[in-house]
Amino acid sequence: MAEESVSQNELLLTAVKCFEKEFGVLPEKAARAPGRVNLIGEHTDYNDGFVLPMALPLVTIVVGKKNNSDDCRIKTLSENCDKPTLVVFSISERQNLKPGNPKWANYIKGVIANFKGNVPGFDAIIISSVPVGGGLSSSASLEVATYTFLEALTEEYTEKLEDKALRCQKAQHEFAGVPCGIMDQYVCTLGKEGHALLLDCRTLEAQLVPINDPNLVFVITNSNVKHELASGEYAIRRKQCEEAAQYLCKSSLREATLEQLESLKLRAPIPDVICHRAHHVIGEIARTTEGATFLANCDSKSFGQLMYLSHQSLRDDYEVSCAELDELVEIAKQVDGVLGSRMTGGGFGGCTVTLVTKAKVDDLINRINEKYSQTATIYIAKPSEGAQVLSLEDYIK
């Protein structure tokens, strides 16, 4: 069976009840932001390239109210986020906010520090169905949900949603120390129900790609492993890409072609590892635009082939896969009706995404449960809406 994500209404109800228990009053504002899955275009966003993610029905919800003080008092009910203890910090001088412990609170501090208006003291409860550290953007989902909650709290709404995504990205850079690209915060903010977004990370323009073939399903498989390497190696990859662009005399790898890389290799002694990184990124950017066209033209077979190529390139050239992700892709490949499969997100654990005909979804799930050496969690990916303010009317009568 695929995991049924707890419904948004259930999460909201739990958060409201918990808020009342913790603070003795009812919350007044609520907001949600989704997790995401990237269909193709991995490690291309910080190279000015293209990505093709979609927002998921898995969500983070924040409920709360102003508390007429200079303090923020926040509790998270999300799975494995330390213990659900109350975290209290002062925001009287926002510019002095610093990252610390517990780690999950850093995302919130980062968003408060980067919110475009003044932030009053508030009490809040956070709850999420996005698996933490599972490669489905639990952190961007938390950042964007928090930002949207602050908009509701202060009634200062961002006109340009790209600006909101950029501020949440900055929060992640400054308070989580991860030099991420813009993909996650963008799709958590601007995702559209029924669609993936072909996002050009150089211009921040996105085209909607309908995901509505009733005979096809994107299945997400959480390997349930997370190798510690992830954030350190991410920063190293980013640096290597900058180095590759310098060798090629380009402002980013987006501007380079595979032919230019080949001819450079003949002319200059470039370290092998840099060539491999560039080879992945340049190839992946091309696969992403091509893949979006295949999807738009209902050529799912060709899209699936690109998914396999993407995985191979992430495994061999970019070296961000791991044994468990490779194993899951191999298992999927053997199932009749599977058109393509690849790791998704930053790598070193987390999830794969697999394109399969609807008739064969159960076969795929059974095969994973039977063959995978660890225990997987499986979700059906349904393209969903980006962040929204939620009404509490039905919950606080």
Binding site for ligand GLA (CB under 6 A): 42-43, 45-46, 180-181, 183-184, 345-346
Q: What's the closest the beta carbon of residue 111 comes to ligand GLA, in angstroms?
A: 15
CB atoms within 10 A of CB 31: 23
Q: What's the closest the beta carbon of residue 343 comes to ligand GLA, in angstroms?
A: 10
State how far the Cα of 231 lies from the Cα of 295, in Å rounded to an integer. 31
Kindly report the length of the chain. Answer: 397
Q: What's the closest the beta carbon of residue 168 comes to ligand GLA, in angstroms?
A: 11
Tell me the torsion sign for CA atoms 4, 8, 11, 17.
negative
Q: Does 70 participate in catalysis according to the annotation?
A: no
Cβ nearer to ligand GLA, comparing 206 with 392:
206
Cβ nearer to ligand GLA, comparing 37 with 392:
37
Radius of gyration over alpha carbons of the chain, in Å? 21
Amino acid type, 12? L
Cβ nearer to ligand GLA, comparing 169 with 384:
169
Q: What's the closest the beta carbon of residue 308 comes to ligand GLA, in angstroms?
A: 17
Cβ nearer to ligand GLA, comparing 113 with 165:
165
Cβ nearer to ligand GLA, comparing 42 with 123:
42
State how far the Cα of 147 lies from the Cα of 140, in Å rounded to an integer. 10
Q: What's the closest the beta carbon of residue 239 comes to ligand GLA, in angstroms?
A: 13
List helix spans (H) across 317-393. 323-333, 361-371
Burial class (CB in 10 A: 0-12, 13-18, 19+), 223: buried
102 cis-preceded (ω within 30 degrees of 0): yes
Amino acid type, 256? A
DSSP 346: S
State how far the Cα of 216 lies from the Cα of 300, in Å rounded to an integer. 8
Q: What's the closest the beta carbon of residue 231 comes to ligand GLA, in angstroms?
A: 10
Cβ nearer to ligand GLA, comparing 42 with 151:
42
Which of 127, 229, 137 has its CA nearest to residue 181?
A: 137
Q: Which of 45, 48, 184, 317 is catalytic?
A: 184
Q: Take residue 357 and report the two structure tokens written for it.
A: 């005909």
Q: Take residue 179 and report the two structure tokens written for it.
A: 């030099």
Q: What are phi and psi of 37, to 5 degrees?
A: -125, 140
* Catalytic annotation, residues: 184
